């Protein structure tokens, strides 16, 4: 089965491809000659994931899936949430985003947070949603070189290291995206 993953984020593509069975061929937007920016202007993760998947399916006719992910920090009223990628501005700079989170938290004792991923799948016009979540804490400084986005400052519950310190396979086994993709893969196996 061929599925288009509606993202331009190569880090996400690499993570998800490693979790998919060989029977599923993941195609990137560039591989199917989709080069425009896909809209995502809903105020929820679910809305954005569906908007991106519908855009690809309705405009190009490809079975596809799209995701949206947000870091939700309790002490910041669940910010940055749906605005995680562009928290510090439209340039979507991860270092700037991390700096803003750390500055906004300051010395706050409550550093509880969660990552949530919602995947919207469209196959032959039928829509499905899958959600993954991982709880943890925001560290006071960066730790590790692996991963991307907020990984250097997010420590999942029950672990001593940040996502950026974990091998990719270990991170995928417990991450929000890994959990959502596992549900997607289980569903695809039933088709």
- pLDDT tens across 96-127, in order? 999 999 999 999 999 999 999 999 999 999 99
* Total domains, the chain: 1
Known active-site residue 68: yes
Question: What's 153's domain CATH number?
Answer: 3.90.950.10
Structural domain harbouring 115: 2-188
Catalytic entry in 14, 41, 67, 68: 68
Residue 10 has pLDDT above 90, yes or no: no
Is it true that the peptide bond before 42 is cis, omega within 30 degrees of 0? no
Q: Which two tokens stand for residue 144?
A: 């590790």
Q: Is the pTM of this model over 0.85?
A: yes
Residues 6 or more apart from 93 whose CB is under 8 A from it?
none
Residue 190 has pLDDT above 80, yes or no: yes
């Amino acid at each position: 089965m061929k599925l288009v993953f509606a993202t331009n984020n190569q880090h996400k593509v690499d993570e998800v491809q490693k979790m998919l069975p060989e029977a599923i061929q993941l195609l990137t937007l560039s591989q199917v000659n989709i080069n425009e920016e896909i809209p995502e202007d809903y105020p929820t993760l679910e809305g954005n994931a569906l908007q991106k998947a519908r855009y690809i399916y309705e405009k190009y006719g490809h079975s596809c899936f799209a995701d949206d992910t947000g870091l939700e920090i309790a002490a910041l009223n669940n910010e940055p949430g749906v605005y995680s990628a562009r928290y510090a501005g439209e340039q979507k700079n991860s270092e700037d985003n991390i700096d803003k989170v750390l500055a906004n938290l300051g010395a706050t004792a409550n550093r509880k947070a969660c990552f949530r991923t919602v995947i919207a799948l469209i196959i032959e016009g039928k829509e499905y949603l899958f959600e993954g979540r991982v709880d943890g804490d925001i560290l006071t400084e960066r730790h590790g070189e692996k991963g991307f986005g907020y990984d250097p400052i997010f420590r999942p519950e029950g672990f001593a290291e940040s996502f950026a310190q974990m091998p990719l396979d270990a991170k995928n086994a417990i991450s929000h995206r890994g959990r959502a993709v596992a549900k997607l893969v289980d569903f695809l196996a039933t088709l």
